[in-house]
Amino acid sequence: MFCGRSSRCSDDNRKGSVPVFLNVYDLTPINGYTYWVGLGVYHSGVQVHNVEYAFGAHEYPTTGIFEGVPTKCDGFTFRKSILIGKTNLGPGEVRKVMEDLAPEYKGNAYNLITKNCNHFCNAACLKLTSNPIPSWVNRLARIGFLCTSSSTTFSNSTSTSTSTSSSSSSPATSTTGVHQVRGRSRTRTRRRAFPPCSPLISSPPSIS
């Protein structure tokens, strides 16, 4: 097929030939009502080359990115697929993109407000298509982040004023900096977890 304009051909090539979809799932039946006002609690995955990539939580310091069957993520109700854009990357190159994202998206770093499945999908879609995911998919997380930031700022200012006013009456601390209670230190040794051996785990983690 020939293009009438060379610029149009170059635009089509730049957009790519392989579609990249965002598969959106409902986490709660309430989404049936809140969806229409641009809110809701959603899980999402990126579908490319008939593979769905998503991100979830586990207790190990290894990647939380996993592969699955498109639109069939266990534990969630599929809502819709959204075409984000297209890519020219092959299956191996797409997997390399996911492996590059793996160190940033570790299972034990999962956070509903600051690093959830939708944050991962947005990062993956930007790398594959240069297009972000729709804002409504992760809107509640952004609202939660703003509320958390405001609360933290208020809490810090309150604790600073309180500590200043009560410093003269507070008991002296030990030179080691560890508060002693009945001869025991409050410091505890954290048990080290054993990570999975696979760089990209094949089954979904417990939380997404």
pLDDT per position as a tens digit, 179-194: 444 444 444 444 333 3
The residue whose two tokens read 């954290």 is 190
| Virtual torsion, Cα 152, 154, 160, 166, nearest 10 deg | -120
pLDDT per position as a tens digit, 81-119: 999 999 999 999 999 999 999 999 999 999 999 999 999
179 in catalytic set: no
Q: Is the model's pLDDT at 139 over the cut of 90?
A: no
Of 58, 73, 117, 119, which residue is the catalytic one? 117
9 in catalytic set: no
User: In this predicted structure, what is the pLDDT of residue 185?
Assistant: 42
Q: Is the model's pLDDT at 22 over the cut of 70?
A: yes
User: In this predicted structure, what is the pLDDT of residue 79?
Assistant: 94
Pull the structure tokens for residue 63: 């990647």
Q: What is the largest CA-CA distance in the chain?
A: 84
pLDDT per position as a tens digit, 46-79: 999 999 999 999 999 999 999 999 999 999 999 9
Of 43, 73, 119, 125, which residue is the catalytic one? 43
Under the banding of pLDDT at 50, 70 and 90, the label for residue 21 is very high
Q: Which of 73-77, 132-136, 199-203 has the lowest mean pLDDT?
A: 199-203
Q: Is the model's pLDDT at 135 over the cut of 90?
A: yes
Q: What pTM did the predictor assign?
A: 0.66
